[in-house]
Amino acid sequence: MPLLSAAQNGVISPTPLALQRLGLIEYPTALEIQRSLHAEVATGSRENTLLLLEHPSVYTAGKRTLESEKPQDGTPVINVDRGGKITWHGPGQLVGYPIVRLAKPTELVGFVREIESAIIAICAELGIRGERISGRSGVWVCDQQGDRKIAAIGIRVASGVSMHGFAINVNPDLSNFNRIVPCGISDAAVTSIARELNQDVRVDEVLPIVEKCFYETLMKVSA
């Protein structure tokens, strides 16, 4: 698992940020890695770290998920301690877990807005106009065809350090969202970078843009 410091990425900063690509990894394994890194960052024994990865197909339910909102066909669901409701993760979706000591850990909404800004910048570099929608987290594509969610966000902060994070739909099988009401929002659709551009886009093609935009964002909010 390559570990790149900010300086190794060609960006000089007195505060290091590790960027770690994990590839395709099972959700429970990634969660244990998150928890281990979180404990190290919280004690100051490790630098802030951004994990970038994909998961095999899995549904995860945040703390506000109702039992009635989970798939009723026996599909496995993992209950997690992040905010938000139920969502799906799977191949073709780039998931990011920023394990970061926050300069203002009590301002969770502000941190979410910074993550949204980074994803909007990523979309812009790809030729997509990403937007916020008042009262709804995540990043959206909005036009005459309606509102479509292209990225979801679910964060937890403990001991001043963030975990969980964001999921950007690059080129996943969007039909997996049909078994649930994604993030509890029933009146909007889900989309992907590939669908909006009407072309094949691979996760590895998007990774360098994500790393650049999130490096800039996370350096602003970290302690």
Residues designated as active site = 183
DSSP codes, the chain: --EE-TTTTT---SS-EEEEEEEE--HHHHHHHHHHHHHHHHHTSS-EEEEEEE-SSEEEE-TT--GGGS-SSS--EEE-SSSS-EEEE-TTEEEEEEE-BBSSTT-HHHHHHHHHHHHHHHHHHTT---EEETTEEEEEEEETTEEEEEEEEEEEEETTEEEEEEEEESS--GGGGGGS-GGG--SSEE--HHHHHTS---HHHHHHHHHHHHHHHHHHHB-
Q: Count other Cβ atoms within 10 Å, centred on residue 44.
A: 8
Say how many residues make up the chain: 223
